[in-house]
Structure formats: structure tokens, C-alpha cells
Amino acid sequence: MHPRDRDRFVLAAVVFAVLFSQLLLYPGIATLVDALGADATTSPFAETALDASMWFLVAEFGAYVAFVGVWGAASDVVGRRTPFIVAGAVAGAAGYATLAAVPTVGSIPFEGVLLLRVLQGATTIGAFSLTMTMLMDLGGGHGRNMGAAGIAIGLGAALGAPVGGQLTELHALAPLVAAATLLLCVGALVTVVEDRSPDRRRSARALLEGVRRRPTLSIPYAFGFVDRMTAGFFALVGTLYFQETFGLGAGATGLLLACFFAPFALLQYPMGALSDRIGRTIPIVVGSLCYGLGILAVGSAPTVGIAAVAMIIVGVLGALVSPATMALVTDLADEAERGVAMAGFNLAGSLGFLGGFLVGGTVAGSYGYGLAFLAVGGLEIAIAIVAVPAFLRLSLERATGGRNPKTGS
């Protein structure tokens, strides 16, 4: 195996492990926050199971938003990725382990649990975002590299959800223990990969100024925001919707979520390679339009079987959009600014997750699940329509300094 191919595989495995550990918590989120002390009589953040679950997820992604840029800028300034990934993974493992120990202490209010969740999220995002940046640093086609990242993300989510549901059936805190163990493995695994970050170092101000001079990055950022919003929506609202509407338990809910994440994962690499050949416009714009329609179909499915089929279709469409969007970031970013550029993409994605939790949870709680599905699916359709003129005007050859926008080389 060529060293570049081996490193692509290892880095994809690291991305998988981080996402897998994160998704372990989702199917049994209501049970988990109850075990961690969510109590409506003592905390305004836990008035209902939906509220407590929402704020537990929001705390992590709020930390993602606040700290992802710090990790990216620090890596670009120093000119190294590996030490920061190791530090983020080990600290994230400590955060998960501390959360798992909360019930044994017995006197931590739910607000304290949320603070621990913030600290865990602030460190975990460093390992995740910078591993994706290391994939950006590889050669061999940006679509292929981001396809590898995408298949790792999708497989992590696809397997994390059902495994997390089964672990929750064993013990409410088991997903936290498993997540801590996996992140320790991440810290060890990434050290076997060559650090290919550019030798050229730049100040933080120069990095931010360089990214500011590339407004075209706002296009993949916008799509990343909306795509991750739908993922956040399914992680929280979709989970509760399936359980309340169809009477599913945590294990069955995890399997239904896997109907989306399995095709989403398995098709990422071939879809990324396809975008290297045909360009990014068709996969992103047409894929997003159909993706939004698929979300509406899930929300209107009358039976579990039809909902499962709709989730599979949505997963296929998500696989078409995701690697092309991430590859577009690599197409547009200067090689010395990749850490910050990918941090910006993950910042937009984290804001999207937050939007999925907050908007989806608020709309579902106030107006019902039907309107919540309509709002999120409609936004995905709207951005695809609005983005058409921008893609028509965008000259990727000029924006990437003469590189081929289809191959990223």
C-alpha cells in the first residue's frame, strides 16, 4: 500500500472513532441525562426530557463553535497537527470519563454537568477538525480525501447510533465509558501518520486575513451549515419523533437512524471521487434540493417501514452532497490556511448542529413534529435554490489560483 493511501485509511479511522464515540450517546440521550441528574425541580434546563436532552447536546456544540477556530489557527501558526490532535483526544477522553463519574459523586447540579460537557466538547473538536485538516494535506484528489473523511463520518454515525442504543440498554452510562476509551485510542493511533502540514508558518492575523480574502469559502460553509443542521435535527428531534410516533425503544431507534447513516457512509468515497470528475456544482446543488425533499418525505411517512425507506434515500442523497462540499473547501483554501479554513467549515457545521437542536427542538415542542420537519427540509431546499446563481458566477479556476476545480490538483 502506498504511504499516502495508508495514511488516508488511518486518518479516516481516527475520524470514524471520534464520530462513533459522539453518536454513542444519542439514541439513549433521555436516559443518559436522567442518570446525570436532570431534574425539573432543581434546574431550569431540565423542565422536560426534551429540554434536558437539547441543552446537553447544545453544550457540546456550543463549545465546538467557540473553540474549533482556536485549534485550527494554533495548528497553522505552529505548522503541526499531530500534537494538537493527541492533546485534544486525551483531554476529550478525560471529559467523557468525568461525566461518567458524576452519578458516583451525587451532588453535582445539572448546570455543572453542562459545564463538564462544554469542556469535553472544547477538546474533542480539536481532534476531529485537525484530523480532517490532515486529510486535506494529503494529495491524490480532494474529492477522494474528503470522501474518506465523509465515509468515516457516516460510518461513525451509522454504527455509533445502533451500538449506543444497545449500550444504553446495558447501562445508561456505558456510552460515556466507551467514548472515553475510544478517544484514548485516537490519541495513540494518529501518531503513526506522517504530519504533512505545510512548513510555511504564518501569524494568526495573517491566517485570518488570508481566509477573509476568500469570500467564496462562504459557499461550502453555507451548505455545511444547513447539512449539519439536518443531522442535528435527526439526532435530537428525529430520535424523539420516532420513539413517540412509532413507539420505538432506544435500540430500534438506533437501527432506524442507521438506515440513513449506512448509505450516507458507504457511498461517501465513490461520491467524492465522482465530484473530482464532474465538478462540485451538480452534487452540491441538485443533491441538496433532493435531500430537502427527502427530509419532508421522512416526516410524512405513515409507518416505520416507509420511514426506513425514506431514511435510506435521504442517506444516499446526503452522501452525494457531503464530500463534494468538503472538497470545495480544499479547492478554495490556500495550503497554508487549511487548518483555519477547515475550522471555519466545522464552525459552520457546529452552528448547524446547534440550529438543528435549538430550532428543531423549539419548533417541535411548540408547534409539533410536522412543522419541524417542514422547517428543516424547506431550508435545505431554499439554500439549494438560492445558491444556483453563486455557482454559476463562481470561477473555481480563478479562485483556487489555477488548480483544477474537479481534481483539486
Range of the domain at 228: 3-399
- For residue 41, the number of C-alpha atoms closer than 13 Å in the C-beta half-sphere is 0
- Kindly state the cell numbers that stand for 295: 427530509
* Residue 42 placed within a domain: yes
Contact 141, 35 (CB under 8 A): no
Q: Is residue 128 part of a domain?
A: yes
Below-50 pLDDT ranges, the chain: 395-409
Task: State pLDDT tens for residues 93-128.
Answer: 999 999 999 988 877 888 999 999 999 999 999 999
Say how many domains are in the chain: 1
Q: Is there a domain that residue 408 lies in?
A: no
Q: Which residues contact 151 (CB under 8 A, 6 or more apart)?
A: 12, 265, 266, 267, 268, 269
pTM, two decimals, is 0.74
The Cα–Cα gap between 41 and 47 comes to: 8
The string of pLDDT tens digits covering residues 317-330 is 988 888 888 888 87
Indicate whether 121 belongs to any domain: yes
* pLDDT of the residue at 360: 84
Burial of 201 (0-12, 13-18, 19+ CB in 10 A): middle
Please state the separation of Cα 94 from the chain's center in Å: 21
pLDDT at 194: 87
Q: Give the integer Cα–Cα distance in Å for 214 and 399.
A: 8
Q: Per the domain annotation, does 362 fall within a domain? A: yes
| Domain CATH for 148 | 1.20.1250.20
Q: What angle do CA 98, 116, 15 make, to 5 degrees?
A: 80
The predicted structure's pLDDT at residue 41: 76
Flag whether 178 is in a domain.
yes
